[in-house]
Amino acid sequence: MSHSNLQLCQLAYDGNIGHIQKLLAENNDLLHKRDQDGRTALHWAASAGNVDITKLLLSHNAKVNVMDDSEWTALMIATSAGRKEVVSVLLNEGADVNSVNRTGQCALHYAASKDHYDIAVFLIENGAHTTVGDWVNATPLHRAASKGLLKMVQLLLINRADVHYTDTEGNSALHVACQDDALDIAKLLIEHGADIHKQNKEKKTPLDYVKPVSRNTLVNAYNSCQIPT
């Protein structure tokens, strides 16, 4: 690891564009060098939300989809950090919106779990799949439901997130919402077809997780959504 490479990564994070231009004029290959975690200057610029430096690095042919040692791309990092403008730049430069890291998570997982709503909209508009299971088969919908993020859940459902998708424990997003007694989210999921009788691997339905006082509310919501035969 050269001093210049570490310096470039630090400058990209700190936002010193003039010094970066000087280093790249001397050796443009520094763009592709990595730090001890496999991150390039682009990863660091994305992390800090430095839009102009992100644009500069890309204009010098930085690889937009390069992964670090944990298989994080700059897009994942910018999304997780809530760097909306950087996300927009990366997407416009061809960032792979559906790339997954070592834990099987894509950028939308991070937007959903951290309530970065506008970024989630960007990602979906640029082709993000709303139903992608990570290493425990949890989807962005699971993540949003587990955090009690009603507006995010609405966004995902409007964009065809699968309410029936289950994680490795057999839990649907409705199971997750009920575990936290998030009734507004649970009712919304039911309105989009979630099954209150679906059992997970412990043979428990979503109703088994809610407080007794809440069960009738969900049963009534479910019954009102059923089509008479």
Rounded distance between C-alpha atoms, residue 34 and residue 168, angstroms = 35
Rounded distance between C-alpha atoms, residue 161 and residue 164, angstroms = 9
pLDDT on residue 226? 80
| 55 domain residue, yes or no | yes
Rounded distance between C-alpha atoms, residue 91 and residue 124, angstroms = 11
| 39 domain residue, yes or no | yes
| 19 domain residue, yes or no | yes
**pLDDT confidence tier of residue 2, bands split at 50, 70 and 90:** low
124-183 pLDDT per residue, tens = 999 999 999 999 999 999 999 999 999 999 999 999 999 999 999 999 999 999 999 999
The answer to whether the predicted template modeling score (pTM) of the entire model surpasses 0.85 is: yes
| 196 domain residue, yes or no | no
Q: Distance between the two ends of the chain, CA-based, in angstroms?
A: 69
pLDDT on residue 3? 54
pLDDT on residue 229? 46
Q: Which residues of 96-126 are buried (b: 16+ CB within 10 A; e: fewer)?
A: bbebbbeeebbbbbbbbbbbbbebbebbbeb
- pLDDT at 227 exceeding the cut of 90: no
- pLDDT at 95 exceeding the cut of 90: yes
Structural domain boundaries, residue 41: 1-69+80-93
52-79 pLDDT per residue, tens = 999 999 999 999 999 999 999 999 999 9
pLDDT on residue 121? 98
When the pLDDT of each residue in the chain is averaged and rounded to a whole number, the result is 96
pLDDT on residue 168? 99
pLDDT on residue 109? 99
Rounded distance between C-alpha atoms, residue 197 and residue 27, angstroms = 62
Overall domain count for the chain? 1
Rounded distance between C-alpha atoms, residue 20 and residue 10, angstroms = 10
- pLDDT at 1 exceeding the cut of 60: no
Structure tokens at 199: 């059992």
CATH number of the domain residue 63 falls in? 1.25.40.20
| 154 domain residue, yes or no | no
Average pLDDT over residues 37-63: 98
| 15 domain residue, yes or no | yes
Torsion of CA 181, 183, 184, 189, to 10 degrees: 100
Rounded distance between C-alpha atoms, residue 58 and residue 35, angstroms = 18
| 205 domain residue, yes or no | no
| 36 domain residue, yes or no | yes
**pLDDT confidence tier of residue 228, bands split at 50, 70 and 90:** low
Rounded distance between C-alpha atoms, residue 149 and residue 123, angstroms = 17
Instruction: Decide: 119 and 89 in contact? Cβ < 8 Å.
Output: no
98-133 pLDDT per residue, tens = 999 999 999 999 999 999 999 999 999 999 999 999
